Amino acid sequence: MNSLTFKFIAVLRRVAQIVVVIVGSTLFVSLLLQLLPVGLEDLYVFALDEAGRQEQIRLLHLDANPVMFYLYWLGDFVRGDFGSYVYPTGVLDPVAPRLGAALPISLRLVVYVQIVALAISIPLGIFTAYRSGRRSDKVISYGLFTAASIPNFVFALLLASFFGVSLAWFPPLGYTAPGDGFVEHLRSMALPVMALAIPTVATYTRLLRTDVIATLREDYVTMAASKGLSNRRILFTHVLRPSSVTLFTSAALNMGALIGGTLVIEQIFSIPGLGSEIGLAIFSRQYFALQSYVAIIAIGYVVFNGIVDVAVGFVDPRSRERSNA
């Protein structure tokens, strides 16, 4: 077999892994529904006559065994049917359009947070690493440690009460779509983004600082210095790239925490994103919708991590070799 075949097999293996995780996580949620102390029928079947009742049970696949029930859901999901909210009147409200409205808002939130966090933490991480051990590093590092420990909802509440209510610089509640005025949009996102970004900046800066300090001790940095390169050149050509691998990997892993964070933050700031939808689905016991939401988040997370793995392969050729081996 030639190396191309091996690469192809490696890619296949990788994809298979992703599929296993996605199927596993959705199956997990689906089986979770079996743990409900109430029968699904009691929750979702409201027809008065027996014929209508049977019809609804068949429609919602409630008569199937747990595995078949999951497979029906999976079949629908793959075809783009994410299930429905089921109302006592028997009316089905499909999830897809609601998802279509909510998902972009949450994605915006998460992407803004990542951009802000990386934009601040990269220079800060490098600065503190180069000043390592001196007073400015110690002050910043302790501050960041504290900030990383404070839950994002604490920041959300403090920011909302201070900048939103007391100073009234930003709207404390609500969301403005970019179409309705971009400046207003940014203003409405400012506090939620800050609330999520502060602990994130703290985490990223610490990671980058640690890695840059470790890289600066490497022989190849001394080697670069012994070639007569300037400090700035050494930083950009020799230090930054190997040091950034952990940062970008954990930025990807952090997507999960951020998505979890949006649940709470959207609730606090009344932003109609995925977090609010999930809250609503749980509150009104819409478990079919919940299953699909969890599936979407898990897929997004796994696929995103796969992409970052590939990207890291470009930054750090060693990892490419490792994942192939």
Partner 1 sequence: MAGSGTAHMRNNDEVVLEVRDLVVEFKIGRGLVVNAVSKVSFDVCRGETLAIVGESGCGKTTLGKAVLQLPPPKSGDVVFEGTNLTKLPKEQLRSARTAMQMVFQDPISSLDPRMTVRALVEEPLWIWERGTEEERGAKVRELLNNVGLDPDLVLNRRSYEFSGGQCQRISIARSLALEPRMLICDEPVSALDVSIQAQILNLLQDMKDRYGLTMIFISHDLAVVKAVSNRIMVMYLGKVCEVGSPDAIYSKPAHHYTSALINSVPIPDPTRKRGAVPLQGEPPSPVAPPSGCRFRTRCPAATELCAAEEPQLREVNPGQYVACHHPRT
Partner 2 sequence: MRNLFAQMNLLSKLSAVWMALMTALAVFGWLIPLPDPREYDPEASAAGLFSPGHLLGTDAGGYDLLSNVVNGARTSLLIAFISVGFGGLVGSAVGIIAAYRRGRLDYVVSTGFNILLSIPNLVLGLALVAVLATSSDPSVPIASNRRVIIIIIALTVVIIPILGRIARGATLTWINREFVVAARSMGMRDKDIIVRHIVPNVLPAIYSVLFLAVGVVIVAEGALSLLGVGVVDGVSWGAMIARVAGEFTYAPQSMYVPVVVVALTVIACNQLGDFLRGRLDLREGRI
Partner 3 sequence: MSAILSIRKLVVNFETPRGLLSAVRDVSLEIEQGSSVGIVGESGSGKTVMSRAAMGLLSGSTVRREGTVMFDDKELTAMRADEVRDQFGTGMAMIFQDPMTALNPVRRIGSQLSEGPRVRLGMDKKAARARSIELLSLVRIPDPEAMLNKFPFQLSGGMRQRVMIAIALACKPKLLFADEPTTALDVTVQAQILQLLSDLRREMNMSMVLVTHDLGVVANHTDFVAVMYAGEIVEQAPTTELFSNMKMPYTEALLKSIPKIDSASGARMAVIEGRLPDPTDRPSGCGFAARCSYVQDKCRTEHPPLVDAGNGHLYRCWYPLGHTIGRK
Task: Give the footprint of partner 1 on this chain (CB under 8 A).
Answer: 1, 6, 9-10, 324-325
* Among partner 2, partner 3, partner 1, none, partner that 71 touches (CB below 5 to 8 angstroms by kind): none
Tokens of 200: 């994130």
* Among partner 1, partner 2, partner 3, none, partner that 145 touches (CB below 5 to 8 angstroms by kind): partner 2
Instruction: Give bridge partners of residue 92 from the DSSP assignment.
Output: 86
Minimum CB–partner distance for residue 316 and partner 3 (Å) = 5
Regarding 227 and contact with partner 3 (CB under 8 A), the answer is yes
Which residue lies nearer to partner 2 by CB, 178 or 246?
246
Minimum CB–partner distance for residue 99 and partner 3 (Å) = 40
Regarding 316 and contact with partner 3 (CB under 8 A), the answer is yes
Element (H, E) at 268: helix 240-269
Whether residue 83 contacts residue 95, with contact meaning beta carbons closer than 8 Å, is answered with: yes
Binding site for partner 2 (CB under 8 A): 20-22, 24-25, 28-29, 32-33, 35-38, 42-43, 142, 145-146, 148-151, 153-154, 157-158, 160-161, 165-166, 172, 256-257, 259-261, 263-264, 267-268, 278-279, 282-283, 285, 287, 290, 294, 297-298, 301-302
Which residue lies nearer to partner 1 by CB, 9 or 173?
9
List the one residue from 149, 222, 270, 284 that touches partner 3 (CB under 8 A): 222
Whole-angstrom Cα Rg for the chain: 24
Helices and strands in the chain: count of H runs, count of E runs: 14, 2
Instruction: Give bridge partners of residue 94 from the DSSP assignment.
Output: 84
* Among partner 2, partner 1, partner 3, none, partner that 165 touches (CB below 5 to 8 angstroms by kind): partner 2
Which residue lies nearer to partner 2 by CB, 140 or 224?
140
Residue 92 Rama label (left phi>0; alpha psi -120 to 50; beta): beta
What does each C-alpha distance from 82 to 6, 18, 119 come to in angstroms?
A: 36, 20, 36
3-state secondary structure at position 86:
strand
- CA gap 155, 195 in Å, rounded: 5
Which residue lies nearer to partner 2 by CB, 145 or 182?
145
Tokens of 31: 């089986």
| Secondary structure of 224-256 in HEC code, one letter for each residue | HHHCCCCHHHHHHHHHHHHHHHHHHHHHHHHHH
Regarding 226 and contact with partner 3 (CB under 8 A), the answer is yes
Regarding 228 and contact with partner 3 (CB under 8 A), the answer is yes
Binding site for partner 3 (CB under 8 A): 133-134, 218-220, 222-230, 233, 237-238, 241-242, 315-318, 321
